[in-house]
Amino acid sequence: MRGWFLIALMLLASGCTRAFYRRQADRESYQAIDERDHDPRWFLPSVDIAPPAESRLFDPYNPDRPPMPPDDPAAARYMQVANGMHGYRRWHKNGDAPTIENPDWRAYLALDKDGTLVLTPERSVELGLLNSPPYYNQLDNLYLAALALTLNRFEFALHWFGTNDTFFTHFGRGEDESNTLTTNSMLGFTKAFAAGGQLMVDFANSFVFQFAGPDTTVATSSIAINLVQPILRGFGRNVRMEGLTEAERNLLYTVRGFARFRKQFSFNIATNSYLSLLLQEQSIRNQRANITSLEQNFRLHEALYKAGSVSSVKVDQVYLSLKQGQLGLVQSESSLENARDNFKSILGLPSDIPIRLDNSLLAPFELNDAELTKLQTELDLFLAEYRELDQAPSLTKLQMGFKHLRAYHARTLKSIASVEQGLERWHKQLNEPREDKEQQALERAAYDARARDLKDLRVDMDRLAAGIEKSAAGLAEDQRRAGWEALQRRANEEIAAAAQLFVVETQIRVFLIQLKPVQQTQKTAIDYALDNRLDLMNRRAQVVDAWRQIDVTASALKAGLDIMANANIATPPLGSNPLDFRASASSYSVGFHFDGPLNRELERNVYRTSQINYEQARRTYITLEDQIIQTIRQDLRTLQTETLSFEISRQALIAAARQVESAREDLLNSTDPTSTQNILNALNALLSAKNSLIQSWVSYETTRIQLLLDMDALQVDERGLYINEPSDQSAPSPTAGS
């Protein structure tokens, strides 16, 4: 029996492995989280605090015995010697990790052939969920709340305990020598009851082996049963179960808080950060287009200067404007690189990884076809080439000029066909049902006007084609000057037609950009938010938590009255049979312990504090409710303002496009001394109008999605991307994910 006892003692001493306890903690914690993850309003995917292998934060080593990470050289010596004493010598027993971050994570980035990371809103969110330290910190907080709950639950389970004390005692010498081996063992459990009672059952066993003279053995055992049940102070499930109740509710709050954090995380990456970065990139594209126009304008002024039509002062003025535009572009590009680095930091990526944003979201803001812009540039240069000549060119050069003009005319006709396709898309868009009938009627009138413009332009182009052919047919050696003037006149007409087409195309494409409508009224949006805001749910529940504390702390003001029952079933004190339990050796007792409420200063203060905390919790809830209502009202007012701002920006861009073409036409056909400044002002106005339009769209779109987030109507799928399905049928329609 002694052998089996020693084996059992060794097994108990060794305990379970690290991995066993880790897996046990994970199993209970994840189960507790899953118990609360069945409401679609705070849906969470399968929670796992360990990052996947493609994450920069992934740890590829054994979590229970990780290798030593790289240390700071100056600090490392204190692990070897501290205060002159040698430290532990086996720090490297599990090996050494070469890096702190996952060494293989870059292989999962899927860079393009140029080594650039192409980002869409969806891919950005996915990378943020993989690599963002703040995201995993929130995930850890969720796990830790569940882990804390497992301890509160364990408080009401059976708590087993087992101990053993073994001593060998030597006393004296010779005849008085005594050698004794004493081993005392205890095995039992404690059990806490929901009403405040505490039960302890303990089986104690003692063996004394005497090795002096004839060997003797004394074995005694006892079974002790103790029960304590409070009657006044500390009595009741409301008091005893408060810690468990609070832990259960706190985990629910943390689950809902994490669910809302995922929505905000997705929104901040896919909307706030991504759209802001796109806006900067589009602004730079607009600046580059403006510089192209400034360069074109500069070349035109150089040609006009050679022909004697403008002064050198105007050429210098245009050149300075070009250089200022180039400087502004360099400054904007530097600011963009800083913004890209900040965005990479949000995603948890190092700043040395080159990125490129997918700008398909801004495709509607390409307001003019690149071919039409190129055609205008070539036509301006074509006219300047012939206009700057001092005398009529040769007949061959004139014939070649009309040949080129026919080619330009064919390209203009092709561009008209492309613009007509856009007009057809606009017509289909107008036939879709809309809430704003007045705006739809105004837009339909604009459509009808542009349709007439294109129809008239077709007629003008046919007339121009006939004129080109007639002028080309009349070319003769003795009529070279007349042919030269006719070529310039027909080129001017072609330029005017292309300019008119540019304006019409701008108007059509700018009307193809539509704001996604907001269907919510103020009442429906506020009602939905008050019913579904996860943080408001938590605040409402925390008011009840504070209310419960009044009852719990009041219990401590009572007198203490505990009923106690004890039973000690034992064997005879000098017997040798450890199982010889006898009534004569056993004892029983029943009684009570009373503690009068004569000193309750601390308890009184705690009780009064709980009342104040309850009132503060009520005020906090009321304040948050008011803030939510105020935020929803502000969002809707902002959307109304931004809708009007977008319409104004749309009309301003159309006017700016007309102004540019009008100024260009004046420059080519007029001797007005202000024509140079007019075209510079027009180009700046066009750049400003383009930037204003996209800024208005981004602001509207951001506020629209912010409204859905403020209502908690924005739902997030398992990938962390917000989706276009509300949490229930009464919810207003939220946005599509990016």
Structure tokens at 700: 């509207």
Q: How far, in whole angstroms, is CA 350 from its chain's centroid?
A: 17
Select from 559, 622, 619, 627 the least CA-distant residue to 595.
559
Contact between residue 552 and residue 239 where contact means Cβ atoms under 8 Å apart: yes
- Nearest-angstrom CA–CA distance, 127 and 57: 12
Q: Is there a contact between 361 and 701 (Cβ–Cβ < 8 Å)?
A: no
pLDDT value at position 26? Answer: 93
How confident is the model at residue 438, as a pLDDT?
80
Distances (CA, A) of 699 to 459, 630, 644, 645: 41, 19, 12, 10
Please identify which residue in the block is written with the tokens 């009321």: 622
Sign of CA dihedral 355, 361, 365, 368: positive
Looking at residue 734, its pLDDT comes to: 37
- The pair of structure tokens assigned to 140 is 């850890």
Among 670, 362, 383, residue whose Cα is nearest residue 498 = 383
By CB neighbour count within 10 A (0-12 exposed, 13-18 middle, 19+ buried), where does 405 fall?
buried
Q: Residues, the chain, total? A: 738
Contacts 24+ apart (CB under 8 A), 292-295: 292/373, 292/377, 293/660, 293/683, 293/686, 294/318, 294/321, 294/322, 294/325, 294/680, 294/683, 295/322
Residue 403 DSSP symbol: H
User: Residue 12: what pLDDT?
Assistant: 54
- Chunked into runs of 10 residues, the chain (738 residues) has average pLDDT values of 49 71 92 89 87 92 91 92 91 91 90 90 92 94 95 92 89 79 91 92 88 77 92 90 93 94 91 87 82 80 75 84 88 90 93 89 81 86 81 90 93 93 90 79 87 91 92 89 90 87 87 86 94 94 94 92 90 80 86 89 92 95 96 94 90 83 68 65 78 87 92 84 52 36
Span between the terminal Cα atoms of the chain, in Å: 73
Q: How far is CA 688 from the centre of its chain?
A: 31
CA 416 to chain centroid? 44
The DSSP result for 141-181, as a single string, is HHHHHHHHHHHHHHTTS-EEEEEEEEEEEEE-SGGG-EEEE
Strand 178-192, strand 216-230: pairing: unpaired
- Which residues, listed in sequence order, are joined to residue 96 by a DSSP beta bridge? 68
Q: Are 384 and 299 in contact (CB under 8 A)?
A: yes
Q: What angle do CA 440, 442, 447 make, to 5 degrees?
A: 90
| DSSP 8-state secondary structure symbol assigned to residue 104 | T
Give the domain ranges of the chain: 159-248+554-624, 365-514
Q: Please tell me the predicted confidence (pLDDT) of residue 14.
A: 54
Tokens of 443: 């837009």
Cα dihedral: 260, 263, 265, 267 (round 10): -140
User: For residue 736, how many C-alpha atoms fall within 13 Å in the half-sphere facing its CB?
Assistant: 4
Is the CB of residue 363 less than 8 Å from the CB of residue 278?
A: no
| Phi, psi angle pair for 218, to nearest 5° | -120, 125
The two three-digit tokens of residue 538, written as one number: 């938590």
Residue 261's pLDDT is what?
A: 93
Q: Which residues contact 308 (CB under 8 A, 6 or more apart)?
A: none
Q: Cα separation of 450 and 503, whole Å? A: 10
Q: Using the 8-state DSSP alphabet, how is residue 196 labeled? A: S
Residue 169: φ, ψ to 5°:
-120, 125
pLDDT of residue 721: 79
* Pairing of β 355-357 and β 117-119: parallel
d(CA 631, CA 485): 66
The answer to whether the beta carbons of residues 503 and 657 sit under 8 Å apart is yes
Kindly give the residue spans of alpha helices, DSSP state H, lying in 268-394.
Answer: 274-306, 312-347, 370-387
- What does the angle CA 488 – CA 489 – CA 492 come to, to the nearest 5 degrees? 85
Cα–Cα distance between 151 and 597 in angstroms, integer?
Answer: 32
As given in the structure block, the two tokens for residue 736 are 């599509």
